[in-house]
Amino acid sequence: MALNYFENLLVLLKQEQDYDREQHSQLLMHSNLNERRAQGVSWFPIQITKIEIGRGDYLSVSLLRTNNQEEQHRFRFGMPVSLFSNHNPGEDRRNGTIAFVNRESMRIAFRVDELPDWTRRGKLGVDLLFDENSYREMELALNTAMLLAKNPQEGKLVRQFIGLESINYRPATTFSYQNESLNPSQCLAVENMLSENSLTILHGPPGTGKTTTLVKGIQALLKNKKQQLLVVAPSNTAVDLLTEQLDQVGVSVVRIGNPVKVSDHLQALTLDGQVDQHRSNKEVKALEKQMRAYTDMAHKYKRNFGKAEREQRKALFNEAHKIRKEIDQIQNFLMNDVLGKAQVITATLVGANHAVIRDRSYGAVIIDEAAQALEPACWIPILKGDKIILAGDHCQLPPTVKSIKGGREGLYNTLFEKLIALYPEAVSMLQVQYRMNSQIMHHSSKLLYINLLQADASVADRRLIEDHQPISFIDTAGAGFEEIELDGAISNEDEANFLHRHLQDFVGKLDQLYTLEEFPTIGIIAPYRKQIAYLKTNLEQDEQLKKYGKLIQINTIDSFQGQEKDIIYISLTRSNENQNIGFLSDVRRMNVAMTRAKKKLLVIGDSATVGQHDFYREFLSYIDELDAYHSIWEYDFAVVG
């Protein structure tokens, strides 16, 4: 690798930023309010519930989403937003930054003394603006890394990671780490985490206990090194999971940013939550009460007042701001106290450079879901430690790359994959999975994990009651189930209708074997959103299936990452004369879909369309070996063309 390594990454990042900005701009400019709300980038209507002076003299405005609270949204801590009025949404706008957000409430920091008059006219809403900050932080990290790469003394780790120098890797030989709750491959992974090597890669295939191993490894690191650790991941969900699990085993952890999971306990682990509960915070509460009294008095003045009233109002606001500065000083002390005592700090990749922790360095940096992370974002935490532990699985979901310009050799090619290729000796692969029947596991193990994946004895033969076939393929070839493409969205209504009827029949049979309390969980997966939408519409109107409620879940492959169900249906969707399989050619995504099932996997698709691809051809051969092939013509309820 050459010194232009980071220059190339900066070009790719700029392409991604430009494309992302344009897409977001198009969404805001050319979508109506209902469409924006459905896309999760607008809240409307909202109600302002509290206005007060916040940290750093920002105006802190709390608001509530008054309806559609069940709708998913993309608003996250630290993102820029725009408060608007429907009275004149083009002109009546004020931009701010999210200081807190959950499912139905939000707190926004505005750099103004008070909100404008128009906030008292018409209904108010909030739009999510394009997040330039994330790209700024990634660009800063790449530029910093580029400078370090030119310095053999200070930039040794950076130079090792881009191949300008080699890591003199020393494999674990003593096997001194033992834990009865872990299997040998997990113990070896922890042993490598404890080594003096600057890089450890934890490769965790589906169901192998990657998170459990990471938590045990973090506990061991804390015991051995007594240094503060930084634990990060690209997704808030992964950060929340690790934060919660570390807390449960007694690790002192501070979560930077707001958790996605709405949980009082998780909120209490955030920096704000721990400062709020600090024993020295009583003084802050008293000062805040005093400050609110001044601002309340100032707000009582009407707009049409004279010079004396204006001066009195200004004096009241000045007093409130003085108290706010005093509060900020105390809170800065409390934050430093909380952060200083923490064993582990958790954040997203970009959150690792939050203002309150920007200048910290750590005994080790652990990046979970590293195979799903954009490389520029990984460099933000990497620059904060001398020992880096990457955990993930490059055979599952890749990172989300919006721009097509980079191609598969661009940002799709993650740092995780590059380092595996550069330092295969640094890889600890977890080899025992605790999720799937061995037949469900076999295809992925053979094609993606060179047959190293084993099923633990506790799950190897797990199956449904009276079921002898843990995996089945139902072939729709010749049935005339043609896919439909409309405005780039692909669906296959005939295949969806068949899946629905098969599910009705299957659930009816299971109902004779299980009570509702013991009934198996069911996941229905398709690679296309249009197919998912059609399936959801069908199933939500089905009175027979309503009694199973949340036991049946329907979603895209990406949404099922990290989840598991007793039964998984996969609708491959594609059926055409040209054997065009689109998304299905990304076998990493299909690996995720096929490895969600614990006891039963049912794949429905057109063998004539998918069978030319190596992954599916091998799968169909495996299905034949198991005698698990079924034609759609075998089913009485199938309506074929």
For residue 571, the surrounding DSSP H or E stretch is strand 565-571
With 70 as the cut, is the pLDDT of residue 516 above it?
A: yes
The dihedral region occupied by 334, where left means phi > 0, alpha psi between -120 and 50, and beta the remainder, is alpha
Evaluate if residue 294 carries a pLDDT over 80: no
pLDDT band at 107 (very low <50, low <70, confident <90, very high): very high
- Longest distance between any two alpha carbons in the chain, whole Å: 91
Would you tell me how many other CB atoms lie within 10 Å of the CB of residue 115?
A: 16
Residue scoring higher pLDDT (30 or 293): 30
Q: What is the pLDDT of residue 291?
A: 77
Q: Give the pLDDT band of residue 2 (cuts 50, 70, 90).
A: low
Residue 240 or residue 57, greater confidence: 240
- Predicted model pTM: 0.91
10 pLDDT tier (thresholds 50, 70, 90): very high
Does pLDDT of 585 surpass 60?
Answer: yes
Mean pLDDT across 341-370: 96
pLDDT > 90 in the chain, percent? 69
The predicted structure's pLDDT at residue 197? 93
The residue type found at 242 is: L
Q: DSSP strand E in 493-635: where?
A: 522-526, 552-556, 565-571, 597-605, 629-631
pLDDT of residue 96 exceeding 90, the answer is yes
Q: Residue 320's pLDDT band (boundaries 50, 70, 90)? A: confident
pLDDT of 592 > 90? The answer is: yes
Cβ proximity of 376 and 13 under 8 Å? yes
Q: Check residue 174 and give its pLDDT.
A: 60
Helix (H) or strand (E) holding 145: helix 132-149
| Residue scoring higher pLDDT (552 or 27) | 552
Between 439 and 558, the more confident residue is: 439
Nearest-5° Cα angle at 24, 18 to 29: 120
Nearest in space to 214 (alpha carbons), one of 235, 236, 237, 233? 233
Chain-wide mean pLDDT for the chain? 91
β-bridge mates for residue 346, sequence order: 231, 255
Q: What is the DSSP track for 295-306? A: HHHHHTS-SS--
